[in-house]
Amino acid sequence: MNLEEFCYRLRAGYEEKKDLSRFIEEGRALLGELLKDPTWFRVYLEKLILDPEFLARQEPSIYPNEVTLYRSPDRSFSIQAYFWEPQTTSAVHDHGSWGIVGAMIYPVRERKYRRLDDSQDEGRAELEETSRWRINPGETTFVLPLNEGIHLMEAPEEHGSVTLSVYGRSIRYGYIQFFDLKRKTVRRAYPPRLLKRVLAVRTLGYLADPWGEEILKASAAGPRPEYLEKEIAQALAHLRTQKKG
């Protein structure tokens, strides 16, 4: 199987509007077939090295080791490859959509977590590890959106690994959350372009100049994505606290 056939068969299953658990189960089996023989991946390695236009079309991502191989025209799903350096570990993180993840070149390990708090205290999170296992080439795992998909991935050996991920349509746009297990904290992580906008909003939130508040209020009055609405609200609240102080 090559990537084109995989996308065709996955879309056919998606359009049948099956129960999500059944769709993920069938999608994992389909991804396992694709991962059995990764020779199709050679063309993408060639493009990354020899085709500057392919590299230029890559959207900036939260993860610098991510490469988008396919995005469906209706944005219902996308496929990413992840290049793991030897003995590296991702942050503990959640997801904005369902996802199916498989090892393609050398094994990886996954740890899954359950959130113990009620998510109501901004910036705080307490997690409990629920499982850990080794994913060999051709094997898959899956994640669900938000608190149902908290995990980390790691390349445990002294050589690099490559994983392949299929992600569905996001139900939370703009960011994912990174968790710190020891400090029991959580923070939003943005891709580079969005992060620049968010940092500008946060900067306005601690400026004492009146024009800073004017910009924030103007931003709050217009249409804005959910992630920016949260950031603007927090910046305005910070300004009000400063005034009282």
**Is 95 found in the same domain as 197?**
no
What share of the chain in percent tops pLDDT 70?
Answer: 100
Structural domains counted in the chain: 2
What pLDDT score was predicted for residue 21? 95
Give the containing element (helix H, strand E) for 143. Answer: strand 140-143
**Is 144 found in the same domain as 69?**
yes
Chain segment 203-239, per-residue pLDDT in tens: 999 987 889 899 999 988 888 888 899 999 999 998 8
Banded pLDDT at 244 (limits 50, 70, 90): confident
**Is 175 found in the same domain as 154?**
yes
Smallest Cα–Cα separation from 154: which of 221, 101, 194?
A: 101
**Is 237 found in the same domain as 173?**
no
Residues 173, 113 contacting (CB under 8 angstroms) = no
Banded pLDDT at 245 (limits 50, 70, 90): low
Query: How far are the Cα atoms of 124, 148, 154 from residue 111, in angstroms, in the given order?
Result: 20, 13, 9
Chain segment 146-196, per-residue pLDDT in tens: 999 999 999 988 889 999 999 999 999 899 999 999 999 999 999 999 999
Give the containing element (helix H, strand E) for 4. Answer: helix 3-15
| CATH code, domain with 45 | 2.60.120.10
Chain segment 42-91, per-residue pLDDT in tens: 999 999 999 999 999 998 899 999 999 999 999 899 999 999 999 999 99
Expressed as residue numbers, the domain containing 157 is: 3-189
